[in-house]
Every structure is written in structure tokens, then in C-alpha cells.
Amino acid sequence: MKLIGIDTGGTFTDFVLYDDGALTIHKVLSTPEAPERAILQGIRELGLGSAGLRVIHGSTVATNAALEGKGVRTCYIGNKGLADLLTIGRQARRELYRLEPAPQPPPVPAALCLEADCRLAADAQVAAPLEEAELKRLLAEVERLRPEAVAINLLYSYLDPAMEQAIARVLPPGLFISLSSEVLPEIREYERGIATWLNAWIGPRVAGYLERLNAGLPGARVAVMQSSGETIAAPQAARQAVRLLLSGPAGGLRGAALAGEAAGRRKLLTFDMGGTSTDVALVDGEPKLTSEGRIGPYPVGVPMVDMHTIGAGGGSVAYLDAGGMLQVGPESAGAAPGPACYARGGDRPTVTDANLILGRLLPDAFLGGRMRLDAAAARTAMQPLAAAMGCTLEEAAAGVVRVADEQMMTALRVISVQRGLDPREFVLSCFGGAGGLHVCALAEALEIPRILAPVHGGVLSALGMLGARPGRQVSRTRLGLLSEADPMQINRELDELAEEGRLALEREGCERAELSVEYSLDLRYRGQSHTLNNPWRGVAGSRAEFEMQHERRNGHRIHGEVELVNLRAALKAPPLVFELEKRPPAPAPGAAVSQTAVFGAADPAAVYARQDLLPGQCIAGPALITEQVATTWLAPGWRAEADIYGNLLLDRHG
């Protein structure tokens, strides 16, 4: 069996092929205008045919469509009087103290928002029936507006979806239709409505992309990574676009967990720096999930890996703002033209150009030597910035790196310190093509004593795809006091959710007997709006777990009633047979292949090829450790030890 993990990023598309126990890694420049082209190119360059190939893919199509506002023409149908629900939202202001905030465009233009004259009450009783005449009127309105997709979000539809289903049945064939009772059957009509609209708005884009990808890979079995870290078969993924918004980053966290387990490091503070952005998250054996994530300005209520993202990556552009302050990102040079050193027409300085000027990147070692970096172009691009700052090229480059580091340190504090967690209790794990160049500085700033630089860190998201497994996250609202809940009734409803997930996974070919299931509850103190997710351990056990978690997260407990909000079932199939390769024995430790000057280091840095390092071999900084898809800068005062899988374990010395 040939199994390939593919991660489409903003700059590069990464491939990790697992064939008969051996791993092969590969990178090609992404083709954002048609992402499938880069995928098909990489598969051809690997010499693969598609027949019998199993593909697990992390896609940015849904993410990019949402962030760039490139969804399709979509109608939104709500209850009478609630057509402007998504526009009003939670009335939260982005800039609290700005007296005249800039107006924001509504998610759905008013002309495309329709009202259905019907109403379900909070007790699931019909307060206003949906008449046949109303269905005909809605059909006529949709035919007049001629959308490509329709999002239907009626009040209390999670209690009874019949009205939403009736509207969907009368709409013209060929429309992409999303029902809130299917996308997110939970309370909070605004969040449910946004998720339903996002699913409809970007759904045709995702469906079209997956159709083109499948057509280009005849005979292959294609699965897509979901934002929750499990996979879904491509035909089903086309209807679940909103669950693919963190598809690629979820693969990175799965890969980090895989490498951390192999290295005996389960508690990780992860730092994924790619070409366009940086993602930070916590992994404690498994990636953490949240139902309060966001994509751009919109809340996304479906389960996704809990991470914080900033617009700072290797391709982030550096510039001086109107006040003369050095800024880095969020604008990125992307894959085309890319950083100036890629020699593809870029002429503005980026973080990658800065690292090359500082000597932390070697022009002949990028992508294993397949792509030579143009140092002269990087210096030319940096020169105007250095002149405006009144400093040397190297000092300007060092400033660019420090600003990028500060942004990433802030992100790491958001995911740890601001949640009551001490980052020093975690191992900082760096990956992504640029992560290893910045990790020592970040660890020093946060006083983190240990670093894990995973094997194949430059393509870890693609590697993580291989370790993922099919799964479903299924939920349902059940509002009431926990103390008054009937445990047997909760068990019955959880079993119903699990059955829904089992049926979906069986349609993908999973064996029912091999599926595992975990039950959990969303709980809150009565009067609160936000919830915490806890394993279902009976009424008393779940309350105790919730109060412990609440105190750890918020610093206190409340003497009051605990309210049950949502029931959740997480189902997973067995993972595919995949293991990290162990390094074969070698006659002698790997020796430095050369030395190079690095700005800011008093001594020359030794250059090592990562694949030559033996298990247990230790090297001291300053050093550059190169590999096909990444470079690790081992700063002075740090040392690195290779393990049997090729992971690098870094700690302070001296």
C-alpha cells in the first residue's frame, strides 16, 4: 500500500510518501489559483501513479475562500423578523474606544436575506406553522435571486429540523443547501447561523476543488483532514466545508503528537512557522479541541483544534509604518513572487531574506539543494529598509527577525500564560519550514528549558496526515441543570449521537466493531455564557471535573448550580499502519561538513547534515543543522541530541 500525506500551504505544497515502511519527502511551490495543480505535479515528480494510492490531504481551499471573501452567491433564510441576524451578530466592537469605527460589510447582503414566516418555540412546540403558501413564496424569491447556495437557519431547529427540511425540499435542484440542524445542531442562533452560512458560502468552492482533484487522481482513495484532526472521505467532505477550515494546521498538531510520543515528550507547546503564518497550540498527548474558534472575523462553532494564528511567517513582508516603526506582516510574499531570495520577481524584504542575510540559511542547502537562494537579491531588497532605518543590512535583518520573534512570543503567551499555564512546564516543539530558525530565541524569551525539533519538521503537517484516522465529532444541545439530569437519559442520548457517527463512518468503509467513542459534556455555571468541555463521568464526577477545570482556567470556583449545555460524542477509527522510521546504525558520528559565519555569534557556526547525526550524538551551538526541508539554528548556549527516530532534543548548557 502506498500512502501519501499532502499539505497545501500558502507558499509550498508538502508531500510525505509512506511506501513499504520507507518515507520519502518532497516539496513543490503551491499554485494558489488552482491548488490541485501543485498536488498533481508533486505526485508526478515522485513517480507515482494514482491507481491504488491512498491520499490524505490537508487543504487550504476552505480557509482561503473564507479569509479572502471568495465564497459564492448565497441566500440566507431565517425566521420572520430575523433576516439581519448575521449582520447584527453579538454587537461586539473590534475597537472598543474608537468613536467612529469603520463600517464592516455584512456576511450576507441584505438583498439576499430572506424571512420564513414560521416559528418553533423553545419547548419544540410549533408556535407558527410553515404553510404551503409560504413555501411557494420562498421558492419564488430564491428563483428570482438565483444564488449558487442557500443557508437555512431557523430558531430551535436543533430541537426539530422539520421546518428547515421542508424548505430545503422545495428549493430548485442544483443548489448547495446547508441546514443549521445538520451543520451545528446547538444553541446560539448567531453562531449556528454563521457556521451554516460559511458552509454554504464556501461549500461549492470546496466541492469543485475536490471534484477536480479526484478527477486528476483516478483510482485513488482521497480523504481530507478535518479541523478536528480526523479525516473524512472526499465525497463527504464536499458537504462539510466548514469543518475543513483548519485542515492543514490540524495535520501539524497530529504530526507533533506523533513525534512527541516517539521522543517521550507528551506535553508540547507547538510552534508551526510556515511561509505565510504561524500557528501555536498545546498538545498533551492529543491536540486540544475547541468549539469557540474563529476564522477571520467570524466565530466557528464546529469542533476544531485549539490554536492561535498570527500573520508572521517566512514570507512576511517587513516595512516601516507611518510612524517609522518596523513592522513585519501580516502581508506575505506568498508563493508568487515569494521572498526576494527565491529569484521569482519579489523585491520586498521578508523574514526569509533576513535569515539568509544573517547567515542562518545557506544558499546551497535550501530544499536539499534543489532550489538555490539568491543572497544578492535578498540584500538588494533589504537595502532600502536598512537605509530608512539608518543601519547596516545585517542590523536591519536582525531587527526584522526580532520583530517576528516578538510577535510569535506574544502568540505563545496567549495560548499558555493567558490560560493560567506555565510555558516552562512544556517542551517547545518547532516545525514548519521556518520554525527551526527561531525556536532558540523563543525558548530563551519564555524561559523554556527544552525544545523538540521533530524529524521532518519542515513537512510535519503532511507527515501528520499519515498518522490521522477517520473520525467524527457529533453534538446536540440538551439544556438543563446538571443536578436534575437523568444519567440514564444522558447515556441514551449520547448513544444516539454515537450511532449517527458510526453510520457516517461505515459509509466510508470503516468497520463498526473497530470504532472507539468518547463522550463529553459542555458545562457552565448557571448564568454564564461560555462553556467548558468535560468527559462524561456521571453527574457527580462531571461536576467535580468541571469545577477543577474552571478553577485552573479562571482562578476560582463559584458556589452555584452547574448547567448542562451540549452533549458530544467523538468517534475514531483505527489509524492506518504507519510508524516513524528508526535510524539505521552508522560506523561513526556525523561530522561537521563546513563552517559559516552567523551574524551575532562570536564563533563560526559548524554546519551539520541532520541525516548524518547518530542517535545519542550531541552537538553544541552555534551550529546550523540542515536537512532537505528545513534548517535548525542552534544558538550559542544550546546543545542538541539526536534520538533514534531523527528527532532533535535541545536544551541549555553552560
pLDDT, one tens digit per residue, over 568-626 is 999 999 877 677 878 777 667 778 788 999 998 989 999 998 888 988 889 998 999 99
Cα separation of 15 and 30, whole Å? 12
Element (H, E) at 351: helix 351-358
Location of C-alpha cell 447556495? 149
**CA-based torsion, 63, 68, 74, 76: positive or negative:** positive
Distance CA 500, CA 505 (A): 9
CA distances from 579 to 89, 90, 310, 511, 585 (A): 46, 46, 32, 22, 18
User: Which three cell numbers mark 20?
Assistant: 513499504
Containing 463, the helix (H) or strand (E) segment is helix 460-467
**Residues of the chain falling short of pLDDT 70:** 335, 367-369, 577, 586-587, 654
Burial class (CB in 10 A: 0-12, 13-18, 19+), 58: buried
pLDDT tens, 107-116?
A: 999 999 999 9
DSSP 156: T
Tell me if 623 sits within 8 A of 612, measured CB to CB. Answer: no
Sign of CA dihedral 543, 544, 545, 546: positive
Q: Where does 61-161 have alpha helices with state H?
A: 61-67, 85-88, 132-145
Question: What whole-number distance in Å separates Cα of residue 471 and Cα of residue 258?
Answer: 17
Distances (CA, A) of 517 to 19, 354, 498, 514: 30, 48, 7, 10
> Given strand 113-116, what is the order of strands in its sheet?
113-116, 74-79, 149-152, 176-179
Q: State CA 431 to chain mean position distance.
A: 14
Q: How much is the pLDDT for 335?
A: 66
Q: How far is CA 314 from CA 330, 350, 363, 438, 514, in A?
A: 11, 7, 15, 10, 42
pLDDT of residue 654: 58
Give the contacts of 135 (CB within 8 A, at least 6 positions apart).
166, 167, 170
- Sequence-separated (6 or more) residues with CB below 8 Å from residue 364: 372
pLDDT confidence of residue 576: 74
Task: Kindly give the pairing relationship between strand 149-152 and strand 74-79.
Answer: parallel
- Give rounded-to-5 percent helix, strand, coil for the chain: 35, 25, 40
Nearest to 395 by CA among 404, 405, 383, 406: 383
pLDDT of residue 59: 81
Q: What angle (nearest 5°) sits at the alpha carbon of residue 570, between those of residues 567 and 573? A: 160
pLDDT at 583: 78
State pTM to two decimals: 0.84
Rounded Cα distance, 358 and 351, in Å? 11
Instruction: Indicate the SS3 state at residue 21.
Output: coil
Cα three-residue angle 124-125-131, rounded to 5 degrees = 115
Of residues 451, 412, 454, the one with CA closest to residue 428: 451
Is 372 in contact with 362 (CB distance < 8 Å)? Answer: no
Length of the chain: 654
Do the Cβ atoms of 343 and 374 come closer than 8 Å?
Answer: yes
Alpha-carbon separation of residue 607 from 112, 543, 563, 636, 644 (angstroms): 60, 55, 58, 14, 21
